[in-house]
Amino acid sequence: MPTSLEQLARAAAIDAFGDSPTVVAQAPARVELLGNHTDHNGGLVLAAAIDRYTVVVGRASEGRQAAVRSTNLRGVEAFTIDELAPGEQGAWGQYVRGVTWALGENDGPLRSGFEAALAGDVPLGAGLSSSASLQAAFAMFLIAAGVIPDLTPDLDDDARMALAKTLRRSENAFVGVASGLLDQFSCLFGRAGHALTLDCRSLAYDRLPLGDPAPAIIVVDSATSRRLADGMYNVRRAECEAVVKHFQERKGADRVRTLRDITLDELLSDWDTLDEAPRLRARHVLTENDRVVQGADALRAGDVVEFGRLMLASHASSRDDFQNSSPALDALIDSAQVSPGFLGGKLSGAGWAGCTVNLVQHGCAEEFSKAVVDAYTKRTGLTPIVHICHAADGAWGRAG
């Protein structure tokens, strides 16, 4: 039997700290099925948590010291829980410190320090929210270990939404990435066999069955790195905000707070007075919001063919209007389109590199995967990595 993530994490905890863990927590990764770059524009998203996980094990400790060991990434992060302040971007330790900091600020004061070890099988930097999965698993660990006063791991949905917001704050304010709520929401609200919708303005959400039998969710990693694109997320945010500012000047700041307050007709009537890049970005966001509404309707009607069509339209809009695709991602979608069982596919997450997410007819997963690898390799010379996934439950933590 292969070693589970929990076994790996337990072995790492015992190796690093000597003591056996008393708590285990887990959070899934997520795919974005529709609603690309809508979350930071007050828009609509449609996502699913998937069965790739971060697992955290450990225990509360005496005193105010914390130590966290990762099995995938080198080193032990050690810090004093009362001396955390926002700092450098990106490294996994920043996420661990950021979650500790944000929960301390929001739900503290923290009761004690802790020792923890984590293991995961979420591909890193591939658009599957490895960082939100880490955040959610780590938060559930802190809660289950009793480090956070008044919170217990049997969180209802209101408490999960509050936690999602705290985790977003930790990423925005501590790590310095201006992301929306999509990732943390998905990792916390996932349900096996279901997609998730979220209105990022009202925070209304729903869990929609993907079908019975559900189509496969196949993530294909383009084998291209996204390091070069790290700054592009904030550039796109600024371009969207330029359009908001344009309409605020014409219609008033109380009427227009985000792109959600502008209709496609209003955008098109001001088209010639807007700069090229910002107006294209805004058109993508507004048409994506519509596709989420249509996609949710399609799922309610059990129409996965229509849902797949919307995913392809979403990818085309990312490629042409938001311009966050890449030749490799486009080649991967072209390859998927000629593979058996393909219903639809698009880039997942921020974009520019990383993964595509494909919906594939039930029973065709293996055949599809083989064909997409062959076609993509022929086109690009690169070997993609295929992850056959299923929609999964959200984060949990418990004694163990």
Site residues for ligand GLA per CB under 6 A? 32, 36-37, 39-40, 179-180, 182-183, 349-350
Specify the residue, 292 or 332, whose C-beta has the smaller distance to ligand GLA: 292
Residues 6+ apart with CB under 8 A from 91: none
Specify the residue, 35 or 153, whose C-beta has the smaller distance to ligand GLA: 35
Residues 6+ apart with CB under 8 A from 56: 9, 24, 25, 26, 116, 117, 118, 137, 138, 140, 141
- Residue pair 247/263 in contact (Cβ under 8 Å)? The answer is no
DSSP string of 307-345, one letter each residue: HHHHHHHHHHHIIIII----HHHHHHHHHHHTSTTEEEE
Catalytic member of 183, 221, 321, 330: 183
Task: State how beta strands 23-34 and 44-61 pair.
Answer: antiparallel
Query: Shortest gap between Cβ of 179 and ligand GLA (angstroms)?
Result: 3
- Residue pair 281/240 in contact (Cβ under 8 Å)? The answer is yes
Residue written as token pair 């995961």:
120
- Residue pair 148/111 in contact (Cβ under 8 Å)? The answer is yes
Token couple for 316 = 């085309």
Residues 6+ apart with CB under 8 A from 254: none
Query: Shortest gap between Cβ of 39 and ligand GLA (angstroms)?
Result: 5
- The reply to whether 221 belongs to the active site is no
- Residue pair 132/184 in contact (Cβ under 8 Å)? The answer is yes
- CB atoms closer than 10 angstroms to residue 382: 15
Query: Shortest gap between Cβ of 313 and ligand GLA (angstroms)?
Result: 15
Residue written as token pair 């001001």:
270
Q: Find residue 342's DSSP bridge partners.
A: 360
Query: Shortest gap between Cβ of 15 and ligand GLA (angstroms)?
Result: 32
Taking the C-alpha atoms of residue 322 and residue 38, their distance in angstroms, rounded to an integer, is: 11
Token couple for 185 = 């929401």
Active site residues: 183
